[in-house]
Structure 1
Amino acid sequence: MQACAVPIEKISTPVDIPEKFTQTGNSSPLEHWWLAFNDPQLNQLIDQALTDNFSLISTFNRLQQAEAIAIKDSADLIPSIGAAFGGAKSYSNLGNPSNFALGLNASYEVDLWGRLRAQKQAAELDVRVAEENLNTAAISLSSEVAIAWYRLIEQRSQLRLLKQQIQTNRNNVEITLIRFAGAQSSAADLFQQQQTLQATIGDQNNVLATIKVLEHQLAILTGNTPGMFSLANNQQLPDLPAQPQTGLASELIQRRPDLRLAYFRVQAADQRTASAIADRFPKLSLSASINATSPNLQSLFNNWIATLAGNLILPIVDGGRRVAEVERNKAVAAESLNNYASTIQQAIKEVEDALAQEYQQKQLISSLNLQYSYSQKATEQIRLRYMYGAIDFLRVLTTQINQQTLERNRISAKRQLIEYRIQLYRSLAGSWPLPEYENSSIDSKEQENG
């Protein structure tokens, strides 16, 4: 007997969305977005993370669990068949009789109202949710690796710059000391220059600590233990790739795995609501059994009996349990739909935020470059005037500190621009084929290493 199948309905977009984004580029988006940076070390790190990151593998394990549950729920649509065999032998003064018994039984619930089929379809949709959750985790992981990697390169660049600034400040201390010995500078001038030197050394210590923290973070992201992982000593941030095409907002909804995840959750909730409604109606189950008994195995099939039965169960009084379950599932479905709408809006916001931040960051970098150019010219003029005694030392020191700050800010601004681009890639990214995780576990890795 075939039940009435509960259709999986398409969900229309629950919120209004713009036709297109406010900005777009000319570069065709890449499936593996990080390849746009043309950075072999980054490619290697992301490949390793997608293969060995334990958090990502655990997300795959949740997919395996969902697949197993789907198989389990599908089994309810198939008749259950069992067999039993037994034998006994008695000992007494009247003889030693034997008895053998064989039984076969089958049971099947007729899915009159589509309850079991709705449960099966909900479980299958849960598998799709788990698949998209894995894809979403992979996108997040790839962007985390890229951000950590370029933050590390930025800190290495800052360290190289700080070493140069420390040497410059040491030279300035020596010059000021000579001028102080010649009564051309005051003790205050010397102390201020020494304080500037020590402040720069303190900044270097902070950068060294940050470098270690970022190295440890990359180790964890790539599935390695901190202290047992080495990285190439890259110190140069890459140039920003051409801006990708943002496409249509409707295409984003179809492309992003987190949006597909939210979509499948709505459909799964609808199926569970249908199952809860069907649970209020009568259930029809069929059963059949064949039993045979005999004092010996040779004649076991000569004495048998067969039974066929049907049961119709109609809920009458349940204290409102089934009605409450229907209402609960309806609320879950409504929540899923609202979450889907919110996720769409958040996705649009992430793209627009990244576009706006990147545009403004480019303007900031242009401003910093101009400021640095003016600072260099001002420093030359102020030093000359100081040498001739036209201005005091504080003006020289202030200009020196400003110029060194600008040098560091330019590096940070370039890294921040790259980070905004990574956020844009992440907000536009779709899924890609992931490695096979079937044998990815702690036990399998220990066997490989052993």
Structure 2
Amino acid sequence: MSYRLFPLILVLLLAACSTQPSVSNAPVILPDSFSETGQQPVSDTWWKSFDDQNLNQLVRRALDENLSLQAAYQRLLQARAVAERQEATLYPSVDASGGAERQEGPNNTDVNLFSVGLSASYEVDLWGRVQSLADADQFRASATLADYQAAAITLSGEIANTWFQLLAQRAQSDLAQRQLDTNRNVLTIIETRFGVGLSSSADVLRQRQLVAASVDRINETNAQIGVLENQLAVLVGQSPGRVQLPDGDALPTLPELPKTGIPAELVQRRPDLQQAWWLIQAADRELAAAISNRFPRFSIDVSLSSQSRGSGDLFYNWLLALAGNLVMPVVDGGERRAEVRRSQALREERVREYGQAVLTAIQEVEDALIREQEQRRRLENLATRIQLADATYRQLRNRYLNGAVSYIEVLDALQEQQDLRRTQLATRQQSLSNRVALYRALAGNIETIE
């Protein structure tokens, strides 16, 4: 056999090798269904389910003006540009050149030399290395898009939670003011009774302590309102104190439980899981490129040039050069083999991260459903306890005015009644925040860009 045929045989043998590794399946067994579901479909614009126009306006403004989300969009543009740059390597590159030179010739005569040329180079993608690298960057761009969409969902959730907290604190402030008025009225009654000898000084002091505690609660609540307003202003991309926030202190009614669907649908819908999947695809293409990099590379270089002493004759004499280059790795100390192993480990890492992300997503839905049930029962129990506390306070107050019980019993009943109403308000806000968490866990892509 002629040794001249050896390179061709080697090329044919290498062509039989696979450079397209398959992606492993994520080691996750999905459950058939979630523990609970409703009938209302989950919209991508899930915040509209609360039927709060102020919330709708805040979310839309944040999606348009939030600086962190705009930074995420710039990262998306960068990823797309990188993908376009890498894709350009699939095509030949052509460069044009031109020059003019003045040389001193014999007998002190000057000679003008003009030159023009075209050069082109192209790597023949025998093993798919260049295509794999282009695909990897395209998959990373898709992952960056999914990350941007996940950031939009996170931002909308932060807006909703902050808005509901602000409404709850405003309502707490109004409740605290009403309780302060009640405590002051009770203090007036006790001071009057003390003036005629029907109450002790200790009863007056205890009620004054309750009044002072109510004032402190109002101050603390108002401070929290200011903090939440600043936080909300920053979320919508504005400086604190320079944005007019909507008024209101009424928490919306909790919507009906949404339709949770099946976990397999969740995996296809959530952008963070889509991001993890695209990163697997990118790692898989990088592995294919690392394998291909161990094989020979073949490139073609073409140049077309002309040189003349006069510009008029420049385009009449052309020189064409065509070259083919074959570069074959021989000894590299195991560098390329090590890169293949690294790429394999990276791909398997991405697979495990994807599996963990799927498990976490299912956990988030189930946790939200458990809290939904618990808070529903708690609100029902709180309503019953408040009714009993109101009745108890009225009875003890009447008995106290008749001298049948001590004031300490009335004070305990009054404090419990007021604590329960504050707890009821806080639990309503927690229920809304938990519903936000459920919507975020089930949400798909928010169409903020094309």
Task: Tell me the TM-score normalised to structure 1 length.
Answer: 0.93
2:93, 2:377 → 1: CA distance? 70
Deviation at 1:389, TM superposition (A): 2.0
Report the Cα distance in structure 2 between the residues aligned to 1:401 and 1:269, rounded to whole angstroms: 61
Whether the aligned pair in 1 keeps the contact of 2:157 and 2:440 (CA below 8 Å) is yes
Find the counterpart in structure 2 of residue 24 from structure 1. Answer: 37
Alignment of 1:314-393 (within 5 A): 314-393=328-407
Q: What is the Cα deviation at residue 230 of structure 1?
A: 1.2
- SS of the aligned residue for 2:123 comes to strand
Which secondary structure state, in structure 1, belongs to the residue aligned with residue 244 of structure 2? coil
Unaligned runs of 5+ in 1: 437-450
1:267 maps to 281
Q: Which amino acid in the other structure matches residue 72 of structure 1? A: R
Say whether residues 1:33 and 2:46 are aligned partners.
yes
Matches within 5 A, 1:110-259: 110-259=124-273
Task: Report the AA paired with residue 82 of structure 1.
Answer: D
1:30-60: CA deviation from partner (whole Å, max 9, x where unpaired): 2311111111111101111111111111111
Is contact 1:5-1:117 (8 Å) kept? no
Question: Does 2:95 match 1:106?
Answer: no
Give the partner amino acid of 1:402.
E
Confirm or deny: 8 A CA contact 1:126 1:265 kept in the other structure: yes
Out of 58, 67, 73, the position equivalent to 1:60 is: 73
Give the match's secondary structure for 1:28: coil
1:258-290 deviation digits (Å, cap 9, x = unpaired)? 111111111111110111111111111111112
Is it true that 1:304 corresponds to 2:312 in the alignment?
no
Which residues of 2 match residues 73-112 of structure 1 at below 5 A?
73-90=86-103, 94-112=108-126
Could you tell me how far apart the structure 2 residues matched to 1:199 and 1:70 are? 62
- Aligned partner of 1:72 in structure 2 is 85
Whether the 8 Å contact between 2:147 and 2:272 is mirrored in structure 1 is yes
Mapping of residues 371-450 of structure 1, within 5 Å: 371-435=385-449
CA contact (8 A) 1:153 1:235 kept: yes
In 2, Cα distance between the equivalents of 1:371 and 1:380?
A: 14
Q: Is the 8 A contact 2:393 2:410 kept in 1?
A: yes
The separation in 1 between residues aligned to 2:178 and 2:20, in whole angstroms, is 69
Flag the 1:435–1:78 CA change in 2: closer, same or farther, 3 A. closer
SS at match of 1:371: helix
Q: CA deviation at 1:3?
A: 13
| Secondary structure at the counterpart of residue 97 of structure 1 | strand
CA distance in 2, matches of 1:4, 1:110: 17
Q: Residue 7 of structure 1: CA displacement?
A: 5.7
Do the aligned partners of 1:11 and 1:267 also contact (CA within 8 Å) in 2? no
Residues in 2 aligned to 1:104 and 1:239: alpha-carbon distance in whole angstroms? 72
- The verdict on how the C-alpha distance between 1:8 and 1:152 changes in structure 2, with shifts beyond 3 A counting, is farther
Q: State the alpha-carbon separation in 2 of the partners of residues 12 and 313 from structure 1.
A: 36
Quote the Cα distance in structure 2 between the aligned partners of 1:7 and 1:253: 25
Cα displacement string for residues 174-220 of structure 1 (whole angstroms, at most 9, x for unaligned residues)? 22222222222222221111111111111111111111111111111
Count of residues in Structure 1 that have an aligned counterpart in Structure 2: 435
- 3-state SS in 1 of match to 2:114: strand
Percent identity at matched positions?
Answer: 40
Query: Do the aligned partners of residues 74 and 144 (structure 1) sit closer, same or farther apart at CA in structure 2, a change above 3 Å counting?
Result: same
Range with bigger deviation, 86-95 or 218-227: 86-95
Structure 2 spans left out of the alignment, 5+ residues: 1-14
Q: What does residue 439 of structure 1 align with?
A: none
